[in-house]
Chain A
Amino acid sequence: MIRKIISGNEAVALGVKLARVGVTGIYPITPQTTIIEKLAEMRAKGEIETEIVRVESEHSAMAATFGAALGGVRAFTATASQGLLYMHEMIWWVAGSRVPVVMVVGTRAVGAPWNIWNEHTDFTSERDSGWIMAFASNPQEALDLTLQAFRISEDERVFLPMMVGMDGFILSHTKTNVLIPDQDQVDEFLPPRRQPYVIDPEDPIGMGNIFPPEGYMRLRESIDLALRNSENIIKEIGREYNKKINPLGDYSTLNVSYKLEDADYAIVLMGAWAGDAMEAVDTLREKGIKIGMLRIRYLRPWSEKEIRNALKDKRAVLVLDRSTSFGRGGGPLYVEVKSTISDIVPQVKGVVSGLGGVTVNKSELLYIFNKFVEGLKDDVIWYYPKEVGKIEFRTPRDIE
């Protein structure tokens, strides 16, 4: 294991190298582009043998990755934002095929209007697609989860694709200390690829022709069962990762609790701002306020048991969303958490913030948490750390 100062994107690329990925379909989009550039560079230098298909769109990036996976090799791709939305059709197709594929999403706002900065809406918008969905909170975790993703998705009890989210720029472009496992360690953790079926002339099966209604529905239920069942497998593989790779983090649970046990108040969130939130929690703790944090690491499977257990007995829970679910009131995380604990926690409040790159740092989080502990009137608020600049309001125009 060596320690290096690298960015989240470089960490992911090294994970792909260590996982001995056979084929990757690549297409650039900010902020994940440096992942695929690094892969291309490593290939040009002969450091990896991965076949790189430089496709003409994200739809094709997922299609090429899918084809390679069906052909019997480990397959990877990365995307973000509009790219993720553009491959949406193929994301569902891959999940339906039940063939293991791994993708990293460098999260970014979705247009219109254009905005290249971080938010989670692109990622959360795929939450019903049948993929296992993990979200990193630092570059180390992005590497760890990428490696675990291959193992999890290729487990015969799972056989589902898996995507790993990572805050665009905030993690993708931050250079920081990352422990990079040795190839032998990874080889011991990650056995050669297994998949439920392979498409090749040795076995002339068909994939994906018409399934009649009941058969189709049974397949859908199978995805749901495999995805829900994956909770135990993720923990099992996480424990093995802890043991064999000995990382900085602990992967024996799906989600990560911080100072929650004796807490009266709990914050729930996902992604990089967990770091700043922990600092804010510490500051409030110093003032005698019993507050803790739950970081959602797996959006799918959604561990109802773990989350209920972590948040039971809390006086109030505040969910921070860096994404939107327009018209619902609150973001997707708020909706999920509320539906999970509304019968055991009297107050579940939500804050939507950090959209489109809005920076929410420790002092702003402190402000939000203080307000929350004092008692929020509204169920959900949209929080702006700074004044919103001028936006033109327009009166409707009658068209003749």
Chain B
Amino acid sequence: MSLLEYQYFPVTRPNKGAGGRTGAWRIVKPVVDYNKCIGCKVCFMFCPESTIVPSNGKVRVDYEYCKGCGVCANVCPVKAISMVNEQ
């Protein structure tokens, strides 16, 4: 469909970062201790931001968007995630 130059529609596409990158305001960040991690992925299940990504049977954190809420550290049954201060 050829649309005219003046025609705009309030339509948006699914895309990462629609609400912006986390940037500088994160205070703490989760760090996974892979020696402790048993790969149960409970953290993945609860992460509100989809920033815990299943990887090689365990998980990794997408720090670009992680907001540092700490839910993952709290739900981890083996306490493999610790919240570390940002520099």
- Size of the chain A interface, CB-CB below 8 angstroms: 23
**Residues of B contacting A196 in the complex (Cβ-Cβ under 8 angstroms):** 1, 3, 7, 9, 11
Task: State which of B1, B4, B14 has its C-beta within 8 Å of the C-beta of A204.
Answer: B14
Evaluate contact between B12 and A226: CB separation under 8 angstroms: no
Name B's interface SS: loop
Report if A92 contacts B (CB, 8 A). Answer: no
For this complex, 15 residue pairs linking A to B, each with C-beta atoms less than 8 Å apart, are: A97-B9, A98-B9, A157-B7, A196-B3, A205-B12, A206-B11, A206-B12, A207-B12, A209-B12, A209-B18, A211-B10, A219-B9, A222-B6, A222-B8, A225-B6
**Residues of B contacting A207 in the complex (Cβ-Cβ under 8 angstroms):** 10-12
Supposing A156-B3, A194-B1 touch, asked if A206 and B13 sit within 8 A by C-beta, the answer is yes
- Residue-wise interface mask of A (151-176) relative to B, using a CB-CB cutoff of 8 A (1 in contact, 0 not): 00000110100000000000000000
Evaluate contact between A157 and B4: CB separation under 8 angstroms: yes
For residue B70, give the distance in angstroms from its CB to the closest CB of chain A. 27
For residue A209, give the distance in angstroms from its CB to the closest CB of chain B. 6
Q: How far, in angstroms, from A205 to B15 measured CA to CA in the complex?
A: 10
Report if A197 contacts B (CB, 8 A). Answer: yes
Evaluate contact between B7 and A219: CB separation under 8 angstroms: no
Evaluate contact between A218 and B8: CB separation under 8 angstroms: yes
Known: A205-B12, A207-B11. 17 other contacts (CB 8 A): A98-B7, A159-B9, A196-B1, A196-B3, A196-B7, A196-B11, A204-B14, A205-B11, A206-B12, A208-B10, A211-B10, A218-B8, A219-B8, A219-B9, A219-B10, A221-B6, A222-B9
**Residues of A contacting B3 in the complex (Cβ-Cβ under 8 angstroms):** 156, 196
Report if A96 contacts B (CB, 8 A). Answer: yes
Report if A309 contacts B (CB, 8 A). Answer: no
**Residues of A contacting B11 in the complex (Cβ-Cβ under 8 angstroms):** 196-197, 205-207
Report if A229 contacts B (CB, 8 A). Answer: yes
Q: How far, in angstroms, from A311 to B1 measured CA to CA in the complex?
A: 40
Supposing A156-B1, A194-B1 touch, asked if A226 and B6 sit within 8 A by C-beta, the answer is yes
Cβ < 8 Å to A, chain B residues 3-51: 3-4, 6-14, 18
**Residues of A contacting B2 in the complex (Cβ-Cβ under 8 angstroms):** 156
